[in-house]
Amino acid sequence: MKRLTVPAIQARKGKEPIVMLTAYTARMAQLLDPHCDMLLVGDSLGQVIYGLPSTLAVTLDMMCAHGAAVVRGSYHSVVIIDMPFGSYEASPEQAFASASRIMAETGAAGVKLEGGEAMAPTVAFLTQRGIPVVGHVGLTPQAVNMLGGYGARGRSNEEHAKIVGDARAVAEAGAFAVVAEGVIEPLARTIVGEVSCPVIGIGASADCDGQVLVTEDMLGMFERTPRFVKKFDDMAGRISAAVETYAKDVRSRAFPGVEQTYQPKP
Ligand code: KIV
Ligand code: NA
């Protein structure tokens, strides 16, 4: 299967929905890849993999290591790597240095960065220099300390207008897709209508041009998840049950059995 391209994703606007999930490891990428159009190495790995309280302490080193693993584990999907907090906001030049390192070390197709109007010059700087960019507007977790939490955005008229402006700004600056996270549904629909690139929703609307979720969330790895997560499995429960059985079998010496042990040749 040939790998999809950024222009192929762009061309999906208003057509078949784009299927996107997060991946942080090679094996998970292998499992998701045949079913997805895009894989996101999200900085959500800070919480999901590293147990951090937010995405703020995620580093470029982490993103490069996990990004390279996901590219190695996939053949079909467009792989996008999140730019971590502190690696791009200071200037377009800083962003280019970080993004070019990500591209070189991982082999990914592009990067994603959070922010709207303020980041538009940076989006233009990167895209004009050969680095495809996905924007991210609405609930932007790297700004949690400014936003005051992870609640849905766009309930006031001012915030609604601001977020539409943010989406337009990054799209007009050259972003090939925009993630709209945690926005009230009418706002998500407005953004879809206002920007010319695909809008990928998470906690947004079924009318978006695609959907993304954190894979561990949709697999039911966590007890508590945001309202917008649909649990397609109960992996936490199934892992607990399997490990409980393993522990029982070890303690009763039922494991390893004959099938799992080596015997001398007769
Ligand atoms: O880090 C992440 O996983 C993300 C998605 C939830 C959009 O940014
Ligand atoms: Na992210």
Over the stretch 113-122, which tens digit does the pLDDT of each residue have?
999 999 999 9
Inform me whether the pLDDT recorded for 214 exceeds 90. Answer: yes
Over the stretch 42-63, which tens digit does the pLDDT of each residue have?
999 999 999 999 999 999 999 9
Average of per-residue pLDDT across 174-186: 98
Over the stretch 77-94, which tens digit does the pLDDT of each residue have?
999 999 999 999 999 999
CA atoms within 13 Å, Cβ hemisphere of 75: 5
240 is in an annotated binding site: no
Q: Ligand 1 pocket test: which of 44, 50, 112, 208 has the largest number of ligand atoms within 8 Å of its C-beta?
A: 44
Ligand 1 nearest atom to the CA of residue 42, by list position: 1
pLDDT of residue 210: 98
- DSSP bridge pairs for 210: 18, 200
Which residue CA neighbors atom 5 of ligand 1 most closely?
Answer: 42
pLDDT of residue 132: 99
Q: Hey, what are 24's tokens?
A: 């942080």
Ligand 1 nearest atom to the CA of residue 114, by list position: 8
* pTM beyond 0.90, yes or no: yes
Average of per-residue pLDDT across 140-157: 96
125: CA distance to ligand 1 center in Å? 23
From 16, 181, 185, 259, active-site residue: 181
pLDDT of residue 2: 87
Spatial CA neighbour of 66 closest among 90, 102, 97, 93:
102
Q: Are 179 and 188 in contact (CB under 8 A)?
A: no
Torsion of CA 58, 31, 181, 151, to 10 degrees: -70
Average pLDDT over all residues of the chain: 97
> What is the CB neighbour count within 10 angstroms for residue 9?
27
255: CA distance to ligand 1 center in Å? 40
Residues with CB under 6 A from ligand 1: 22, 40, 42-44, 82, 179, 181, 202, 212, 214
Query: What's the rounded Cα separation, in Å, for the pair 141 and 114?
Result: 8
Ligand 1 nearest atom to the CA of residue 55, by list position: 1
207 is in an annotated binding site: no
For domain 6-234, say whether CATH 3.40.50.2300 is its number.
no
pLDDT of residue 134: 99
Give 231's DSSP letter. -
Residues across the chain? 266
Quote the ipTM score.
0.99
Average of per-residue pLDDT across 223-251: 97
Inform me whether the pLDDT recorded for 266 exceeds 90. Answer: no
Q: Tell me, yes or no, if 181 is annotated catalytic.
A: yes
70: CA distance to ligand 1 center in Å? 15
Over the stretch 11-41, which tens digit does the pLDDT of each residue have?
999 999 999 999 999 999 999 999 999 999 9
Inform me whether the pLDDT recorded for 8 exceeds 80. Answer: yes
Inform me whether the pLDDT recorded for 1 exceeds 80. Answer: no
Backbone angles phi, psi at 22, to 5 degrees: -80, 150
Which residue CA neighbors atom 4 of ligand 1 most closely?
Answer: 42
